[in-house]
Amino acid sequence: MKVTTCRVHVAQQQDVHLTVTESRQHELSPDSNLPVQLLTIRVASTNPAVQAFDIWLNSTEYGELCEKLRAPIRRAAHVVIHQSLGDLFLETFASLVEVNPAYSVPSSQELEACIGCMQTRASVKLVKTCQEAATGECQQCYCRPMWCLTCMGKWFASRQDPLRPDTWLASRVPCPTCRARFCILDVCTVR
Ligand SMILES: [Zn+2]
Ligand SMILES: [Zn+2]
Ligand SMILES: [Zn+2]
């Protein structure tokens, strides 16, 4: 059932087909609250008297909705659903790192497998770029590239206060290898 200012939409569960047609992510930024992904779900009924309508749902409640429904929810091919804060964070982390300056590896240096997952090659290097070398709380890390972007993002997220996601992006965490402190601005993609 969906209630709007001038209409009430009612559809019976046994007659409906639900399809996630769109997902919209709201940016996690240092001064915003929780990051959210909103899903648009189209409710279509096999009963010709019932007009199709859309409902909106926070992606973290998607699992609960699936459990309560007796029929599966279909999903348009292009829609990716992030059900946890960690998933949401990783996506934001990756998009922020993308705009940081890239780091060129010396041509003599071979990129090794990421020591976190051993599945892909190392793809990031910590370079202090947020402030001048001798100022601020961040420190220069001298480790060679050892981690992939996803593992670095997971590490970053794992060092955060799970109850204060609004502080995640602005915080500093130690390098997993040498413990030099870094922030998101210091994570550079290796070219
Ligand atoms: Zn990895
Ligand atoms: Zn380091
Ligand atoms: Zn920094």
Nearest ligand, measured from the Cα of 114: 1
> How is the chain split into domains, by residue range?
2-83, 88-189
Nearest ligand, measured from the Cα of 182: 3
Contact indicator for 19, 75 with CB cutoff of 8 Å: yes
Q: Mark the residues whose beta carbon lies below 5 A from ion ligand 1.
A: 114, 116-117, 148, 151
Distance 175 CA to ligand 2 centre (A): 5
* pLDDT given for residue 23 in this prediction: 87
pLDDT digits (tens, 9 = 90+) for 165-184: 778 888 999 999 999 999 99
Nearest ligand, measured from the Cα of 140: 2
* pLDDT given for residue 77 in this prediction: 83
Distance 181 CA to ligand 2 centre (A): 8
Candidates 1.10.287, 3.30.720, 3.30.450, 3.30.200; CATH matching 2-83: 3.30.720
* pLDDT given for residue 59 in this prediction: 83
Alpha-carbon distances of 80 from 25, 56, 123, 178, rounded to whole Å: 10, 15, 23, 35
**Low pLDDT (below 50) residues in the chain:** 29
* pLDDT given for residue 42 in this prediction: 94
DSSP E strand stretches across 80-170 = 124-126
Sign of CA dihedral 168, 170, 173, 176: positive
Amino acid at 148: C
